[in-house]
Chains A and B, each alone.
Chain A
Amino acid sequence: MSVSTQNDVILQARGLAKRWGDVVALDGVDLTVHKGEVITVIGPSGGGKSTLLRCLNGLEVPDAGSVRVGGAPLRVGAPDIDALRRRVGMVFQAFHLFPHISVLDNLTLAPTVVCTEDRATATRHARELLDRVGLADKASARPGELSGGQQQRVAIARALAMRPDALLFDEPTSALDPETVGEVLGVIREIAADGTTMVIVTHEISFAADVSSRTVFMEHGRIIAEGATQPLLRTPTSDRLRAFLARMPTM
Protein backbone atom coordinates (compact mmCIF):
# COMPACT_ATOMS: atom_id res chain seq x y z
CA MET A 1 0.00 0.00 0.00
CA SER A 2 1.24 3.42 -0.84
CA VAL A 3 0.88 6.52 1.28
CA SER A 4 -2.24 6.43 3.40
CA THR A 5 -3.90 8.96 5.63
CA GLN A 6 -6.53 8.60 8.33
CA ASN A 7 -9.10 10.01 5.91
CA ASP A 8 -9.05 7.07 3.57
CA VAL A 9 -9.59 4.44 6.26
CA ILE A 10 -12.85 2.65 5.50
CA LEU A 11 -12.81 -0.14 8.06
CA GLN A 12 -10.83 -0.35 11.21
CA ALA A 13 -10.85 -3.25 13.67
CA ARG A 14 -9.00 -2.99 16.95
CA GLY A 15 -8.30 -5.80 19.39
CA LEU A 16 -11.14 -8.05 18.23
CA ALA A 17 -11.70 -11.08 20.44
CA LYS A 18 -14.37 -13.75 20.19
CA ARG A 19 -14.79 -17.15 21.82
CA TRP A 20 -17.31 -19.88 21.17
CA GLY A 21 -17.25 -21.71 24.50
CA ASP A 22 -13.70 -23.04 24.73
CA VAL A 23 -12.90 -22.33 21.10
CA VAL A 24 -11.03 -19.12 20.46
CA ALA A 25 -12.17 -17.66 17.15
CA LEU A 26 -10.49 -14.28 17.42
CA ASP A 27 -7.68 -13.42 19.79
CA GLY A 28 -6.75 -9.77 19.50
CA VAL A 29 -7.06 -8.97 15.80
CA ASP A 30 -6.30 -5.54 14.34
CA LEU A 31 -7.09 -4.74 10.73
CA THR A 32 -7.25 -1.46 8.86
CA VAL A 33 -8.79 -1.32 5.40
CA HIS A 34 -8.00 1.71 3.25
CA LYS A 35 -10.01 2.99 0.34
CA GLY A 36 -9.30 1.06 -2.85
CA GLU A 37 -7.45 -1.75 -1.12
CA VAL A 38 -8.11 -5.38 -1.95
CA ILE A 39 -7.20 -7.53 1.01
CA THR A 40 -7.34 -11.31 1.01
CA VAL A 41 -7.53 -13.23 4.26
CA ILE A 42 -6.12 -16.74 4.07
CA GLY A 43 -5.43 -19.47 6.57
CA PRO A 44 -6.61 -22.87 7.75
CA SER A 45 -10.29 -23.56 8.47
CA GLY A 46 -11.33 -22.55 11.96
CA GLY A 47 -8.61 -19.93 12.08
CA GLY A 48 -11.07 -17.08 12.60
CA LYS A 49 -11.20 -15.65 9.06
CA SER A 50 -14.98 -15.74 8.69
CA THR A 51 -15.56 -14.53 12.23
CA LEU A 52 -13.32 -11.54 11.55
CA LEU A 53 -15.28 -10.75 8.39
CA ARG A 54 -18.64 -11.10 10.14
CA CYS A 55 -17.50 -8.79 12.93
CA LEU A 56 -16.68 -6.14 10.32
CA ASN A 57 -20.37 -5.64 9.49
CA GLY A 58 -21.90 -6.57 12.82
CA LEU A 59 -23.21 -10.02 11.96
CA GLU A 60 -21.12 -11.20 14.90
CA VAL A 61 -20.65 -9.21 18.08
CA PRO A 62 -17.06 -9.43 19.33
CA ASP A 63 -16.46 -10.17 23.03
CA ALA A 64 -13.88 -7.40 23.06
CA GLY A 65 -12.44 -4.85 20.70
CA SER A 66 -14.04 -2.39 18.34
CA VAL A 67 -14.92 -1.92 14.69
CA ARG A 68 -15.17 1.46 13.03
CA VAL A 69 -16.82 2.09 9.68
CA GLY A 70 -15.49 5.29 8.18
CA GLY A 71 -14.59 6.47 11.67
CA ALA A 72 -18.00 5.73 13.24
CA PRO A 73 -18.12 2.97 15.85
CA LEU A 74 -20.15 -0.06 14.74
CA ARG A 75 -22.33 -1.18 17.64
CA VAL A 76 -24.97 -3.88 17.23
CA GLY A 77 -28.23 -2.57 18.66
CA ALA A 78 -27.26 1.08 18.19
CA PRO A 79 -29.63 3.23 16.13
CA ASP A 80 -27.07 3.79 13.37
CA ILE A 81 -26.24 0.12 12.84
CA ASP A 82 -28.42 -0.22 9.71
CA ALA A 83 -26.94 2.91 8.15
CA LEU A 84 -23.39 1.66 8.82
CA ARG A 85 -24.15 -1.82 7.48
CA ARG A 86 -25.36 -0.27 4.21
CA ARG A 87 -21.83 0.99 3.67
CA VAL A 88 -20.32 -2.50 3.94
CA GLY A 89 -21.64 -5.11 1.53
CA MET A 90 -21.41 -8.83 2.21
CA VAL A 91 -21.18 -11.79 -0.16
CA PHE A 92 -21.82 -15.12 1.53
CA GLN A 93 -20.51 -18.57 0.81
CA ALA A 94 -24.07 -19.89 0.33
CA PHE A 95 -25.30 -16.83 -1.67
CA HIS A 96 -28.48 -16.32 0.40
CA LEU A 97 -30.40 -14.80 -2.46
CA PHE A 98 -34.05 -14.07 -1.72
CA PRO A 99 -35.78 -17.05 -3.38
CA HIS A 100 -39.30 -15.62 -3.52
CA ILE A 101 -38.53 -12.69 -5.83
CA SER A 102 -36.86 -12.25 -9.21
CA VAL A 103 -33.17 -11.63 -9.74
CA LEU A 104 -33.87 -7.98 -10.55
CA ASP A 105 -35.98 -7.57 -7.40
CA ASN A 106 -33.16 -9.12 -5.37
CA LEU A 107 -31.05 -6.16 -6.47
CA THR A 108 -33.66 -3.44 -6.05
CA LEU A 109 -35.21 -4.64 -2.76
CA ALA A 110 -32.71 -3.11 -0.37
CA PRO A 111 -32.21 0.25 -2.17
CA THR A 112 -35.97 0.82 -2.40
CA VAL A 113 -36.90 -0.51 1.04
CA VAL A 114 -34.32 1.55 2.89
CA CYS A 115 -35.21 4.47 0.61
CA THR A 116 -31.77 5.30 -0.64
CA GLU A 117 -33.11 5.29 -4.19
CA ASP A 118 -36.42 5.58 -5.99
CA ARG A 119 -37.59 2.56 -7.95
CA ALA A 120 -36.63 3.88 -11.40
CA THR A 121 -33.06 4.70 -10.35
CA ALA A 122 -32.71 1.42 -8.48
CA THR A 123 -33.96 -0.55 -11.48
CA ARG A 124 -31.63 1.22 -13.88
CA HIS A 125 -28.68 0.65 -11.56
CA ALA A 126 -29.68 -3.00 -11.05
CA ARG A 127 -29.76 -3.62 -14.81
CA GLU A 128 -26.32 -2.05 -15.18
CA LEU A 129 -24.97 -4.29 -12.43
CA LEU A 130 -26.54 -7.44 -13.91
CA ASP A 131 -24.93 -6.52 -17.19
CA ARG A 132 -21.62 -6.08 -15.42
CA VAL A 133 -21.76 -9.59 -13.91
CA GLY A 134 -22.89 -10.98 -17.28
CA LEU A 135 -26.46 -11.85 -16.27
CA ALA A 136 -28.53 -9.16 -17.97
CA ASP A 137 -30.69 -11.87 -19.55
CA LYS A 138 -31.59 -13.37 -16.16
CA ALA A 139 -33.27 -10.30 -14.67
CA SER A 140 -36.71 -11.89 -14.50
CA ALA A 141 -35.53 -15.38 -13.48
CA ARG A 142 -35.97 -16.71 -9.97
CA PRO A 143 -32.75 -17.47 -8.06
CA GLY A 144 -33.69 -21.15 -7.95
CA GLU A 145 -33.44 -21.35 -11.72
CA LEU A 146 -29.78 -20.29 -11.75
CA SER A 147 -26.59 -22.29 -11.34
CA GLY A 148 -24.48 -21.76 -8.23
CA GLY A 149 -22.01 -19.59 -10.11
CA GLN A 150 -24.80 -17.45 -11.52
CA GLN A 151 -26.40 -17.11 -8.09
CA GLN A 152 -23.14 -15.94 -6.60
CA ARG A 153 -22.73 -13.37 -9.38
CA VAL A 154 -26.24 -12.10 -8.61
CA ALA A 155 -25.30 -11.95 -4.92
CA ILE A 156 -22.28 -9.80 -5.80
CA ALA A 157 -24.46 -7.50 -7.90
CA ARG A 158 -27.00 -7.35 -5.05
CA ALA A 159 -24.30 -6.21 -2.63
CA LEU A 160 -23.05 -3.61 -5.14
CA ALA A 161 -26.60 -2.29 -5.60
CA MET A 162 -26.30 -0.52 -2.24
CA ARG A 163 -23.21 1.32 -3.56
CA PRO A 164 -21.17 0.22 -0.53
CA ASP A 165 -17.84 1.71 0.50
CA ALA A 166 -16.43 -1.78 0.85
CA LEU A 167 -17.37 -5.35 -0.05
CA LEU A 168 -16.72 -8.35 2.17
CA PHE A 169 -16.51 -11.82 0.60
CA ASP A 170 -16.85 -14.84 2.86
CA GLU A 171 -15.35 -17.76 0.91
CA PRO A 172 -17.34 -16.81 -2.20
CA THR A 173 -16.40 -19.90 -4.21
CA SER A 174 -16.36 -22.61 -1.53
CA ALA A 175 -19.93 -23.76 -2.22
CA LEU A 176 -19.53 -23.83 -6.00
CA ASP A 177 -18.98 -26.60 -8.51
CA PRO A 178 -15.39 -26.45 -9.74
CA GLU A 179 -16.45 -25.47 -13.25
CA THR A 180 -18.27 -22.35 -12.05
CA VAL A 181 -15.54 -21.09 -9.71
CA GLY A 182 -13.76 -19.35 -12.55
CA GLU A 183 -16.71 -17.17 -13.63
CA VAL A 184 -17.19 -15.89 -10.07
CA LEU A 185 -13.51 -15.18 -9.54
CA GLY A 186 -13.52 -13.39 -12.90
CA VAL A 187 -16.31 -11.08 -11.75
CA ILE A 188 -14.54 -10.37 -8.46
CA ARG A 189 -11.34 -9.56 -10.39
CA GLU A 190 -13.18 -7.10 -12.60
CA ILE A 191 -14.76 -5.35 -9.64
CA ALA A 192 -11.40 -5.18 -7.93
CA ALA A 193 -9.90 -3.64 -11.06
CA ASP A 194 -12.58 -0.92 -10.86
CA GLY A 195 -11.10 0.18 -7.56
CA THR A 196 -13.71 -1.31 -5.23
CA THR A 197 -12.46 -1.75 -1.67
CA MET A 198 -12.67 -5.40 -0.69
CA VAL A 199 -11.82 -7.91 1.99
CA ILE A 200 -11.92 -11.46 0.66
CA VAL A 201 -11.72 -14.60 2.75
CA THR A 202 -10.62 -17.34 0.38
CA HIS A 203 -8.93 -20.69 0.00
CA GLU A 204 -7.96 -19.89 -3.59
CA ILE A 205 -4.34 -18.93 -3.06
CA SER A 206 -3.50 -18.24 -6.70
CA PHE A 207 -6.57 -16.00 -6.92
CA ALA A 208 -5.44 -14.19 -3.77
CA ALA A 209 -2.01 -13.79 -5.29
CA ASP A 210 -3.21 -11.96 -8.37
CA VAL A 211 -6.24 -10.04 -7.09
CA SER A 212 -5.10 -8.56 -3.81
CA SER A 213 -2.70 -5.81 -2.87
CA ARG A 214 -2.36 -7.05 0.69
CA THR A 215 -2.75 -10.48 2.27
CA VAL A 216 -3.46 -11.42 5.85
CA PHE A 217 -2.66 -14.91 7.12
CA MET A 218 -4.70 -16.02 10.15
CA GLU A 219 -4.35 -19.04 12.37
CA HIS A 220 -5.85 -19.80 15.80
CA GLY A 221 -7.63 -16.46 15.85
CA ARG A 222 -4.54 -14.37 15.32
CA ILE A 223 -2.92 -12.60 12.41
CA ILE A 224 0.33 -14.49 11.99
CA ALA A 225 1.64 -12.65 8.97
CA GLU A 226 0.48 -9.81 6.77
CA GLY A 227 1.89 -7.62 4.08
CA ALA A 228 2.00 -6.86 0.39
CA THR A 229 0.61 -9.97 -1.31
CA GLN A 230 3.36 -10.84 -3.78
CA PRO A 231 6.38 -10.81 -1.41
CA LEU A 232 4.33 -12.38 1.39
CA LEU A 233 3.30 -15.39 -0.71
CA ARG A 234 6.50 -15.71 -2.81
CA THR A 235 8.96 -15.50 0.05
CA PRO A 236 7.06 -16.09 3.26
CA THR A 237 9.07 -15.21 6.33
CA SER A 238 6.71 -16.96 8.72
CA ASP A 239 7.28 -20.71 9.19
CA ARG A 240 3.57 -21.30 9.73
CA LEU A 241 2.58 -19.45 6.56
CA ARG A 242 5.21 -21.44 4.66
CA ALA A 243 3.81 -24.67 6.09
CA PHE A 244 0.27 -23.59 5.20
CA LEU A 245 1.20 -22.68 1.64
CA ALA A 246 3.04 -25.97 1.21
CA ARG A 247 -0.20 -27.83 2.04
CA MET A 248 -2.23 -25.90 -0.53
CA PRO A 249 -2.68 -27.63 -3.90
CA THR A 250 -2.08 -24.59 -6.10
CA MET A 251 0.68 -21.99 -5.99
Chain B
Amino acid sequence: MTAQRERLVRGAVVMAIIAALAIVISLAPGEIRWALAWERRDLFLTGLGLTVVISSGAVGIGLILGVIAALFRVSRSVALDQIGRTYVEVVRGTPFLVQLYLWYWCIAQALQLHGLFGPREAAIVGAIGLGVFGGAYIAEVVRGAIESIDRGQWEAARSLGLSHAQALRHVVLPQCARRLLPPLTGEAVSIVKESSLLSIIGVAEITYHAKNLQAREYETWAAFICLAALYLVVTLPLTLLTRRMERRLAGEEALPVARL
Protein backbone atom coordinates (compact mmCIF):
# COMPACT_ATOMS: atom_id res chain seq x y z
CA MET B 1 0.00 0.00 0.00
CA THR B 2 1.41 3.40 -0.91
CA ALA B 3 1.88 6.01 1.78
CA GLN B 4 -0.64 8.27 0.08
CA ARG B 5 -3.33 5.60 -0.04
CA GLU B 6 -2.65 4.73 3.58
CA ARG B 7 -3.18 8.36 4.62
CA LEU B 8 -6.42 8.42 2.64
CA VAL B 9 -7.74 5.31 4.36
CA ARG B 10 -6.77 6.61 7.80
CA GLY B 11 -8.42 9.99 7.15
CA ALA B 12 -11.63 8.35 5.90
CA VAL B 13 -11.84 6.12 8.97
CA VAL B 14 -11.41 9.08 11.35
CA MET B 15 -14.10 11.03 9.49
CA ALA B 16 -16.46 8.06 9.65
CA ILE B 17 -15.93 7.72 13.40
CA ILE B 18 -16.60 11.44 13.93
CA ALA B 19 -19.77 11.15 11.83
CA ALA B 20 -20.91 8.16 13.88
CA LEU B 21 -20.32 10.13 17.08
CA ALA B 22 -22.32 13.04 15.67
CA ILE B 23 -25.23 10.66 15.03
CA VAL B 24 -25.05 9.35 18.60
CA ILE B 25 -25.02 12.93 19.91
CA SER B 26 -28.03 13.83 17.76
CA LEU B 27 -29.95 11.06 19.55
CA ALA B 28 -29.55 12.92 22.84
CA PRO B 29 -32.89 13.51 24.58
CA GLY B 30 -33.74 17.16 24.21
CA GLU B 31 -31.59 19.90 22.84
CA ILE B 32 -27.90 20.14 23.77
CA ARG B 33 -27.27 23.65 25.08
CA TRP B 34 -23.78 24.23 23.72
CA ALA B 35 -24.19 27.92 24.52
CA LEU B 36 -23.97 27.12 28.24
CA ALA B 37 -20.53 25.63 27.72
CA TRP B 38 -19.50 28.54 25.50
CA GLU B 39 -20.54 31.03 28.18
CA ARG B 40 -18.17 29.34 30.56
CA ARG B 41 -15.27 29.24 28.15
CA ASP B 42 -13.09 31.37 30.41
CA LEU B 43 -13.64 28.99 33.32
CA PHE B 44 -12.94 26.00 31.11
CA LEU B 45 -9.73 27.54 29.81
CA THR B 46 -8.58 28.52 33.31
CA GLY B 47 -9.35 24.95 34.38
CA LEU B 48 -7.43 23.57 31.42
CA GLY B 49 -4.50 25.80 32.41
CA LEU B 50 -4.60 24.42 35.96
CA THR B 51 -4.77 20.88 34.57
CA VAL B 52 -1.63 21.54 32.54
CA VAL B 53 0.17 23.20 35.46
CA ILE B 54 -0.69 20.43 37.91
CA SER B 55 0.17 17.70 35.40
CA SER B 56 3.51 19.32 34.61
CA GLY B 57 4.35 19.52 38.29
CA ALA B 58 3.31 15.91 38.74
CA VAL B 59 5.41 14.80 35.74
CA GLY B 60 8.40 16.59 37.30
CA ILE B 61 7.87 14.93 40.68
CA GLY B 62 7.20 11.60 38.96
CA LEU B 63 10.39 11.80 36.90
CA ILE B 64 12.51 12.48 39.97
CA LEU B 65 10.89 9.74 42.05
CA GLY B 66 10.75 7.33 39.12
CA VAL B 67 14.41 7.66 38.21
CA ILE B 68 15.45 7.37 41.86
CA ALA B 69 13.25 4.28 42.35
CA ALA B 70 14.61 2.71 39.13
CA LEU B 71 18.20 3.34 40.24
CA PHE B 72 17.34 1.75 43.60
CA ARG B 73 15.94 -1.27 41.77
CA VAL B 74 19.08 -1.84 39.70
CA SER B 75 21.50 -0.99 42.50
CA ARG B 76 23.55 -3.73 44.08
CA SER B 77 22.01 -3.03 47.49
CA VAL B 78 19.19 -5.42 48.37
CA ALA B 79 17.77 -2.88 50.85
CA LEU B 80 17.53 -0.13 48.22
CA ASP B 81 16.04 -2.58 45.74
CA GLN B 82 13.37 -3.51 48.27
CA ILE B 83 12.56 0.16 48.98
CA GLY B 84 12.07 0.76 45.26
CA ARG B 85 10.06 -2.41 44.84
CA THR B 86 7.75 -1.64 47.77
CA TYR B 87 7.05 1.86 46.46
CA VAL B 88 6.21 0.55 43.00
CA GLU B 89 4.03 -2.31 44.24
CA VAL B 90 2.04 -0.25 46.75
CA VAL B 91 1.34 2.57 44.31
CA ARG B 92 0.55 0.31 41.37
CA GLY B 93 -1.54 -2.00 43.51
CA THR B 94 -3.99 0.65 44.73
CA PRO B 95 -6.38 2.87 42.75
CA PHE B 96 -5.30 6.46 42.32
CA LEU B 97 -8.69 7.54 43.69
CA VAL B 98 -7.92 5.76 46.97
CA GLN B 99 -4.41 7.24 47.08
CA LEU B 100 -5.89 10.68 46.58
CA TYR B 101 -8.28 10.14 49.52
CA LEU B 102 -5.34 9.03 51.62
CA TRP B 103 -3.30 12.09 50.68
CA TYR B 104 -6.14 14.53 51.16
CA TRP B 105 -7.98 13.16 54.15
CA CYS B 106 -5.42 11.12 56.05
CA ILE B 107 -1.95 12.43 55.41
CA ALA B 108 -2.86 16.10 55.18
CA GLN B 109 -4.93 15.74 58.33
CA ALA B 110 -2.19 13.92 60.19
CA LEU B 111 0.09 16.82 59.37
CA GLN B 112 -2.66 19.12 60.73
CA LEU B 113 -2.83 21.07 57.54
CA HIS B 114 -6.55 20.96 57.19
CA GLY B 115 -7.32 24.18 58.96
CA LEU B 116 -5.16 25.94 56.41
CA PHE B 117 -6.65 24.20 53.43
CA GLY B 118 -7.86 26.25 50.55
CA PRO B 119 -8.11 25.35 46.89
CA ARG B 120 -4.45 26.21 46.40
CA GLU B 121 -3.29 23.75 49.04
CA ALA B 122 -5.61 21.09 47.62
CA ALA B 123 -3.99 21.59 44.23
CA ILE B 124 -0.51 21.21 45.72
CA VAL B 125 -1.45 18.05 47.63
CA GLY B 126 -3.12 16.73 44.48
CA ALA B 127 -0.05 17.39 42.34
CA ILE B 128 2.18 15.66 44.88
CA GLY B 129 -0.16 12.66 45.03
CA LEU B 130 -0.29 12.53 41.25
CA GLY B 131 3.50 12.76 41.01
CA VAL B 132 3.98 9.94 43.51
CA PHE B 133 1.47 7.89 41.53
CA GLY B 134 3.11 8.58 38.17
CA GLY B 135 6.59 8.01 39.61
CA ALA B 136 5.86 4.34 40.25
CA TYR B 137 4.95 3.77 36.60
CA ILE B 138 7.88 5.85 35.40
CA ALA B 139 10.16 3.77 37.64
CA GLU B 140 9.11 0.62 35.81
CA VAL B 141 9.61 2.26 32.42
CA VAL B 142 13.11 3.42 33.38
CA ARG B 143 14.00 0.07 34.93
CA GLY B 144 12.80 -1.70 31.80
CA ALA B 145 15.02 0.53 29.66
CA ILE B 146 18.05 -0.08 31.87
CA GLU B 147 17.48 -3.83 31.78
CA SER B 148 17.04 -3.79 28.01
CA ILE B 149 20.68 -2.78 27.63
CA ASP B 150 22.80 -5.76 26.64
CA ARG B 151 24.61 -7.44 29.52
CA GLY B 152 27.79 -7.22 27.46
CA GLN B 153 27.78 -3.44 27.90
CA TRP B 154 27.96 -3.87 31.67
CA GLU B 155 30.66 -6.51 31.35
CA ALA B 156 32.74 -4.38 28.99
CA ALA B 157 32.47 -1.39 31.33
CA ARG B 158 33.28 -3.40 34.45
CA SER B 159 36.19 -5.19 32.78
CA LEU B 160 37.69 -1.75 32.06
CA GLY B 161 37.61 -1.04 35.78
CA LEU B 162 34.49 1.13 35.97
CA SER B 163 32.45 0.74 39.14
CA HIS B 164 28.78 -0.24 39.00
CA ALA B 165 27.78 3.43 39.39
CA GLN B 166 30.27 4.60 36.74
CA ALA B 167 29.10 1.95 34.29
CA LEU B 168 25.51 3.02 34.89
CA ARG B 169 26.26 6.72 34.54
CA HIS B 170 28.61 6.65 31.53
CA VAL B 171 27.61 3.56 29.58
CA VAL B 172 24.12 2.28 30.39
CA LEU B 173 22.00 5.37 31.13
CA PRO B 174 23.13 7.35 28.05
CA GLN B 175 21.99 4.43 25.92
CA CYS B 176 18.63 4.36 27.74
CA ALA B 177 17.85 8.03 27.24
CA ARG B 178 16.83 7.74 23.60
CA ARG B 179 14.73 4.66 24.18
CA LEU B 180 13.04 6.30 27.14
CA LEU B 181 11.54 9.34 25.44
CA PRO B 182 8.52 7.67 23.79
CA PRO B 183 7.34 5.64 26.82
CA LEU B 184 7.90 8.60 29.14
CA THR B 185 5.70 10.79 26.95
CA GLY B 186 3.10 8.06 27.27
CA GLU B 187 3.35 8.30 31.06
CA ALA B 188 2.91 12.07 30.84
CA VAL B 189 -0.34 11.50 28.91
CA SER B 190 -1.52 9.13 31.66
CA ILE B 191 -0.78 11.74 34.30
CA VAL B 192 -2.77 14.40 32.44
CA LYS B 193 -5.75 12.04 32.28
CA GLU B 194 -5.52 10.93 35.92
CA SER B 195 -5.43 14.57 37.01
CA SER B 196 -9.19 14.68 36.34
CA LEU B 197 -9.66 12.85 39.65
CA LEU B 198 -8.32 15.87 41.50
CA SER B 199 -11.75 17.44 40.98
CA ILE B 200 -13.06 15.30 43.85
CA ILE B 201 -10.81 17.03 46.37
CA GLY B 202 -12.00 20.38 45.14
CA VAL B 203 -9.18 21.31 42.81
CA ALA B 204 -10.68 23.66 40.21
CA GLU B 205 -9.12 21.98 37.21
CA ILE B 206 -11.06 21.35 34.07
CA THR B 207 -13.13 18.33 35.14
CA TYR B 208 -14.25 20.33 38.18
CA HIS B 209 -15.75 23.01 35.93
CA ALA B 210 -17.44 20.46 33.70
CA LYS B 211 -19.01 18.82 36.73
CA ASN B 212 -20.19 22.24 37.91
CA LEU B 213 -21.87 22.89 34.60
CA GLN B 214 -23.63 19.57 34.82
CA ALA B 215 -24.70 20.06 38.43
CA ARG B 216 -25.96 23.62 38.09
CA GLU B 217 -27.54 23.60 34.63
CA TYR B 218 -28.25 19.87 34.22
CA GLU B 219 -26.39 20.11 30.92
CA THR B 220 -24.61 16.74 30.87
CA TRP B 221 -23.90 16.35 27.17
CA ALA B 222 -22.33 19.70 26.46
CA ALA B 223 -20.32 19.56 29.69
CA PHE B 224 -18.68 16.21 29.14
CA ILE B 225 -18.30 16.30 25.38
CA CYS B 226 -16.45 19.59 25.69
CA LEU B 227 -14.43 18.14 28.57
CA ALA B 228 -13.33 15.13 26.53
CA ALA B 229 -12.45 17.36 23.58
CA LEU B 230 -10.33 19.64 25.76
CA TYR B 231 -8.38 16.69 27.21
CA LEU B 232 -7.68 15.59 23.66
CA VAL B 233 -6.31 19.05 22.90
CA VAL B 234 -3.60 18.35 25.49
CA THR B 235 -3.05 14.61 25.01
CA LEU B 236 -3.24 14.26 21.22
CA PRO B 237 -0.17 16.41 20.47
CA LEU B 238 1.76 14.41 23.06
CA THR B 239 0.59 11.11 21.57
CA LEU B 240 1.47 12.24 18.06
CA LEU B 241 4.87 13.37 19.28
CA THR B 242 5.40 9.94 20.85
CA ARG B 243 4.46 8.22 17.63
CA ARG B 244 6.87 10.35 15.65
CA MET B 245 9.70 9.62 18.06
CA GLU B 246 8.90 5.91 17.94
CA ARG B 247 8.89 5.96 14.17
CA ARG B 248 12.24 7.71 14.11
CA LEU B 249 13.72 5.22 16.55
CA ALA B 250 12.21 2.34 14.60
CA GLY B 251 13.70 3.72 11.41
CA GLU B 252 17.11 3.48 12.97
CA GLU B 253 16.75 0.26 14.86
CA ALA B 254 14.11 -1.95 13.30
CA LEU B 255 11.71 -2.40 10.41
CA PRO B 256 8.14 -1.09 10.63
CA VAL B 257 5.20 -3.42 11.20
CA ALA B 258 4.63 -5.48 8.08
CA ARG B 259 0.93 -5.62 7.16
CA LEU B 260 1.03 -8.93 5.36
Contacts and interface: CB of A to CB of B under 8 A. Distances in A.
The yes or no verdict on A and B being binding partners is yes
Interface of A: 57-59, 82-83, 85-86, 88-90, 92, 94, 96-101, 109-110, 113-114, 155, 158-159, 162
**Chain B interface size range:** 10 to 19
State the 4 A-B residue pairs at the shortest beta-carbon distance, nearest first: A86-B161, A110-B160, A90-B159, A96-B156
Contacts of B158: 58-59, 82, 85
Contacts of B160: 85-86, 89, 109-110, 114, 158-159, 162
27 contacts: A58-B158, A59-B155, A59-B158, A59-B159, A85-B158, A85-B160, A86-B161, A88-B159, A90-B156, A94-B152, A97-B156, A98-B153, A98-B156, A98-B175, A99-B175, A100-B175, A109-B160, A110-B157, A110-B162, A113-B166, A114-B160, A114-B162, A114-B166, A155-B156, A158-B160, A162-B160, A162-B161
B161 A82 contact: yes
B73 to A, nearest CB: 19
B109 interface: no
Task: Specify which of B163, B166, B170 lies most central, judged by the most chain A CB atoms within 10 Å of its CB.
Answer: B170
Contacts of A96: 150, 152-153, 155-156
A86 B162 CA distance: 8
A92 B175 CA distance: 20
Q: Is the interface of B mostly helix, strand, loop or mixed?
A: helix
B108 interface: no
B161 A83 contact: yes
A189 B162 CA distance: 28
A99 B152 CA distance: 12
B155 A92 contact: yes
Interface string B165-189: 0100011001100000000000000
Nearest to A110: B160
B171 A98 contact: yes
Nearest to B175: A100
A136 to B, nearest CB: 21
Contacts of A155: 156
B163 A82 contact: yes
A105 to B, nearest CB: 10
Contacts of B156: 90, 92, 96-98, 155
Nearest to A168: B159
- Which of B156, B157, B175 has the most chain A CB within a 10 Å cutoff? B156
B170 A109 contact: yes
